[in-house]
Amino acid sequence: MIAAAGLVAVVAGMFLPWFRSGAVLRDSFQLIGVIQTLGFLRGDVLELLLYIWFGLVPVVTLSVVAYTFGLYRTSATICVILTIFTGTISGVATVESGGEESSLGIASTGPTVTLIGSLVALIGAVGIFVSRRKSASRIAGGEP
């Protein structure tokens, strides 16, 4: 449940404001659209990260579905990889945000919520690994 709550916060944070331009606030997906339209990263390796960002919501869904079908370690592995990716990007954006007083720059709401959600989901995923390891060691010995 902890990992799921973290993943919900990650997805919610992706749709919260990430960029401020005057009175206009843009979420992470709108920001990626602006970057692609302006062509800042054409042919760059960082352009791949933009396309990966669009696939994160389906990856979150995949992690939840895997957990639902009893594939706990697979779900936790997907969750760890996802949270490392989203946590790194949102962490950099949170650190680089210039505060609320500037009219152009990174908004702090979306990156902060995504970062916190990533940390909570990572803690939940580690908990899944630890709990599965403890239950496996009890069964492996043949004693209850």
Question: pTM of the entire structure?
Answer: 0.81
> Taking the CB of residue 66, how many other CB atoms lie within 10 A of it?
18
What pLDDT, on the 0 to 100 scale, is given for residue 44? 73
C-alpha distances in Å from residue 2, one per residue of 46, 85, 95, 125, 133: 31, 18, 25, 8, 18
Give me the helices (H) in 15-108, please: 28-38, 45-54, 56-68, 72-96
How far does CA 91 lie from the centroid of its chain?
Answer: 10
What pLDDT, on the 0 to 100 scale, is given for residue 95? 86
- Summarised one tens digit per residue, pLDDT across range 18-30 is 888 878 888 888 8
Q: CB–CB of 10/92 below 8 Å?
A: no
What pLDDT, on the 0 to 100 scale, is given for residue 116? 95
Residue 40 DSSP SS3: coil
Distance between start and end Cα atoms, the chain: 26
How would residue 49 be classed by pLDDT, with cut points 50, 70 and 90?
confident
Mean pLDDT of 63-91: 93
Q: To the nearest whole number, what is the mean pLDDT of the chain?
A: 85
Residue 143, pLDDT above cutoff 60: no
How would residue 62 be classed by pLDDT, with cut points 50, 70 and 90?
very high
Q: Which two tokens mark 136?
A: 């496996």
What pLDDT, on the 0 to 100 scale, is given for residue 94? 86
Give me the helices (H) in 43-71, please: 45-54, 56-68
Q: Which helix (H) or strand (E) holds 100?
A: none
* Per-domain residue ranges of the chain: 2-140
Which of 6-10, 37-41, 119-123 comes out lowest in average pLDDT? 37-41
Q: Which helix (H) or strand (E) holds 1?
A: none
Residue 81 DSSP SS3: helix
